[in-house]
Structure 1
């Protein structure tokens, strides 16, 4: 073999090794035969790049070949990710291709979540894609609302402190200091008062003991009185009181009725009128007796007969006046 032939063979081997090594470093082994190619569409890829690994059940089965923007106007800004699967493991078109991050430091990768129901996926199919939020993304999403609340709290606190600063001017601070001084004086007075009360109690301790003893005696006497009251037959007292009230009611009913002399005297007008007329006649008789005693009483030492009564003019006038008065009284 000539030297030139040897040199050409070495160059060919180097080129083949370079091509195989380059593809191998890119994640595609030329010796494994033809790989299947799939497409997935995402709105964001979260740090996914070309040559990112593609895993299936945790096993690396391929790599990302290309990432391009979707040129369709309705989906402008969406990203189409093309990747190869070098394994002959079969899964359906319902399988999900998920972007995930193995750890916080490493970049994102693709994980095929296989589904075995339905039609088997073939090279060139577009699969359903989704993105798994990383730890930091999840923490960020949870911290965003908290950050907004903290900002609102800070704003409110700033407003509160501004109001406090407006309130706590020199006059207010001086007033607070004065109030504190007055409070200290009040506390001092309270201490003095308490000390005085303690001294008073100590000085009158014997009197307090006597007072407490008297109070105890009074309580004991009250207890005895209470015991005595409990021994009294309250039912008999109540029964007698009821009988007394019944008797009084009966007496009142008889007084209100026409039975008996007292009831007739109270309720019968005729009896009252008769008594009044008799009283007037008795009054007239007494008056006539005073004026004409000789008409009723005759006294003679020699047995002289009494003269018949003949009223004179003055007596006639007096009798007429009496008659008029009697008529007026009757009216």
Structure 2
């Protein structure tokens, strides 16, 4: 049977179309027959992921997106078929999430769990909606924007309050306050100059005080030996005092005071001789009478000496009466007693 050229062209065309379809699907990551290790994930938002987009674990591509299919006409859930390049042990508590990239294509990342049980072929892996970069930035900026809005409202309120407070009277008070601040600043300048003068290394009072302190410390250093000797003597004195029988001395002193008090009590009483001399008025009267008699005797001897000492060749004793009272003492202008 002879094959015509038209048949040959038709067969070649069909073969070319078939190869084109197979090559296109191969480039998309799909083969003519569904073979290999597949996993499935249910997502709500695909975030622009396409067939043949990579599937990564810890940044390493372990497979690609094989197919996307809506579970229902409402598009509530989309089933993503994942074809793994090789057999990989993925824990059953691992989580898959779609990460969008505004500068490139979206990808699916699988965060490995810690379970010892692994997913099998055609199992469904749990998913989690991961926020995109812009969503994360927006989420981070939202509190900042709210704070800025609150700050602007507060600033607006403060400005209105300031506008209400700054009436002409208040402005005048503010001017007076600024004038007072200027005077205070001038006073601070003067005070600073005075402090600078005090801190002057040549003529400042602080420098003189430091010189006096240095002189004092120098004198202490020069008299260090004397000070040490004085301290040694003081230490020796304190040691002697610590070794002295202070309690015995105090007891002896107490006994002496008690004896002295007893003696004073005896003197105050009329039992002893000294007490009688001090307290008996009769002794005072006797002494007073004795003194008076002695004065009379001395006056009588002065007035009538012949009565007591008689030296006479022809005459006899004086027969004048004895004195019975002291003579009146008189003095002349020269101060001589008569």
Which residue of structure 1 aligns with residue 335 of structure 2? none
CA positional deviation for 1:28: 1.1
Distance between the aligned counterparts of 2:53 and 2:256, measured in 1? 124
CA contact (8 A) 2:64 2:84 kept: yes
Moved more, 232-241 or 169-178: 232-241
- Greater RCO (Cα-Cα under 8 Å, separation 6 or more): 1
Distance between the aligned counterparts of 1:51 and 1:39, measured in 2? 14
CA contact (8 A) 2:63 2:84 kept: no
Matched, 1:13 2:12: no
Matched, 1:58 2:56: no
Distance between the aligned counterparts of 1:29 and 1:142, measured in 2? 41
CA positional deviation for 1:63: 2.1
CA contact (8 A) 1:40 1:128 kept: yes
TM-score under structure 2 length normalisation: 0.50
Change (3 A) 1:284 1:63: same
CA positional deviation for 1:141: 8.7
> What do you get for the CA RMSD once the two structures are aligned?
6.2
Which residue of structure 1 aligns with residue 188 of structure 2? 183
Secondary structure of 1:187 counterpart: helix
> Over residues 176-203 of structure 1, what are the superposed CA-to-partner deviations in whole Å (9 max), with x where a residue is unaligned?
33333332333345556777973999xx
Structure 2 residue runs without a partner (length 5+):
297-306, 308-316, 318-338
Which residue of structure 1 aligns with residue 42 of structure 2? 41
Structure-to-structure mapping, 1:103-118, within 5 angstroms: 105-110=103-108, 118=117
Which residue of structure 2 aligns with residue 129 of structure 1? 127
Secondary structure of 1:251 counterpart: helix
Which residue of structure 2 aligns with residue 283 of structure 1? 285
Change (3 A) 1:176 1:8: same
Which residue of structure 2 aligns with residue 253 of structure 1? 258
TM-score under structure 1 length normalisation: 0.51
Which residue of structure 2 aligns with residue 296 of structure 1? none
Which residue of structure 1 aligns with residue 329 of structure 2? none
